[in-house]
Amino acid sequence: MKAETLTQKQLAVQPYSKGRRIKNCLMSAVSNPYNLIVIVSLLLLTYFIVIPLLEMIKTTFNLAESDVRRVPGVAVGDFTLYYWKRLLNSTISRKMLFEPITHSLTIAIFVSILSISLGSCIAWLMVRSDLPGKKFFSLAVIVPYMLPSWCKSMAWITVFKNERIGGSKGFLNYLGVVTPDWLAYGPFAIIAVLTLHYYAYSYLLVSASLRSVNSELEEMGEIAGAGKLKILRKITFPLVLPAILSSFILTFSKSMGTFGVPAFLGMKVNYYTISTMLYNSIKQRQTNIGFALSLILIGIAAINIYINQKAIGTRKSFATIGGKGGRSTLISLGKGRPIIVICLFVFIGFAVTMPLFILLIQTFMLKLGDFGISNLTLHYWIGESNPLIFAGEPGVFKNPQFFLYIKNTLLLVVFSSLIATIVGQILGYITSRGRGRLSGRLIEQMVFIPYLIPSIAFGAIYLSMFAVRRTISILGYDITLVPALYGTFILLVLISVVKNLPFSCRAGTANMMQIGVELEEAAMIEGASFGKRFMKIVLSLSKNGFMSGFMLIFISIMKELDLIVILMTPQMSTLPYMAYSYASGGFDQLSNVVAVIMFIIVFSVYFLANKLTNADISKGFGG
The CA distance from 32 to 601, in Å, is 43
pLDDT higher than 70, residue 48: yes
The CA distance from 100 to 257, in Å, is 12
pLDDT higher than 70, residue 619: no
C-alpha distance from residue 508 to each of 324, 423, 444, 504 (Å):
16, 8, 11, 6
Please tell me the predicted confidence (pLDDT) of residue 410.
94
**Stretch 587-599: mean pLDDT, rounded?**
91
**Stretch 410-414: mean pLDDT, rounded?**
94
- Reported as a pLDDT band with limits 50, 70 and 90, residue 214 is low
Please tell me the predicted confidence (pLDDT) of residue 593.
93
Q: What is the 3-state secondary structure (H, E, C) of 78-108?
A: CECCHHHHHHHCCCCHHHHHHHHHHHHHHHH
The CA distance from 288 to 306, in Å, is 27
**Domains, the chain, ranges and CATH?**
32-80+378-623 (1.10.3720.10), 98-345 (1.10.3720.10)
Going by C-alpha positions, the residue among 613, 622, 611 that lies closest to residue 544 is 613
Alpha helices in 400-481 (DSSP H): 400-433, 438-446, 449-452, 455-466
The CA distance from 131 to 332, in Å, is 8
- Reported as a pLDDT band with limits 50, 70 and 90, residue 311 is low
The CA distance from 301 to 310, in Å, is 14
- Reported as a pLDDT band with limits 50, 70 and 90, residue 323 is very low
**Structural element, H or E, at residue 482:** strand 477-482
**Stretch 311-316: mean pLDDT, rounded?**
52
The CA distance from 519 to 333, in Å, is 42
pLDDT higher than 90, residue 412: yes
pLDDT higher than 90, residue 408: yes
Please tell me the predicted confidence (pLDDT) of residue 484.
81
pLDDT higher than 50, residue 488: yes
Check: CB of residue 379 under 8 Å from CB of residue 386.
Answer: yes
Q: Which residue has the higher pLDDT, 243 or 312?
A: 243
**Stretch 59-76: mean pLDDT, rounded?**
86
Please tell me the predicted confidence (pLDDT) of residue 61.
92
Please tell me the predicted confidence (pLDDT) of residue 28.
62
pLDDT higher than 60, residue 326: no
pLDDT higher than 60, residue 4: no
Q: Please return the burial class of 407, using the count of CB atoms within 10 Å of its CB with bins 0-12, 13-18 and 19+.
A: exposed
pLDDT higher than 50, residue 318: no
- pLDDT for 444-470, tens place per residue? 788 888 887 888 888 888 887 887 777
- Read off the amino acid at residue 56: M
- pLDDT for 365-380, tens place per residue? 988 877 788 889 999 9
Please tell me the predicted confidence (pLDDT) of residue 239.
76
The CA distance from 523 to 527, in Å, is 6
Mean pLDDT, the chain, whole residue set:
82
Q: What angle do CA 424, 429, 435 make, to 5 degrees?
A: 120
Please tell me the predicted confidence (pLDDT) of residue 15.
57
Please tell me the predicted confidence (pLDDT) of residue 529.
76
**Cβ neighbours of 78 (radius 10 Å):** 12
- Among left, alpha and beta (phi > 0; psi -120 to 50; other), residue 325 is beta
Please tell me the predicted confidence (pLDDT) of residue 560.
85
